Structure 1
Amino acid sequence: MVDKVVKGPASYFPSIEKKYGRPIHEWQALVRKALPARHMELVAMLKNDHGMGHGHANAIVAHTLAEDTK
Structure 2
Amino acid sequence: MDVDRDTVVEIAVSVGAVGLFVAVIVAIGGAYNQGGLSTGGGMALVGAITGFVVLMSVLGIGLAYYLNR
Q: Tell me the TM-score normalized by structure 1.
A: 0.33
Tell which structure's C-alpha radius of gyration is larger.
2
Q: Tell me the TM-score normalized by structure 2.
A: 0.33
Q: Would you tell me which structure has more helix in proportion to its own residues?
A: 2
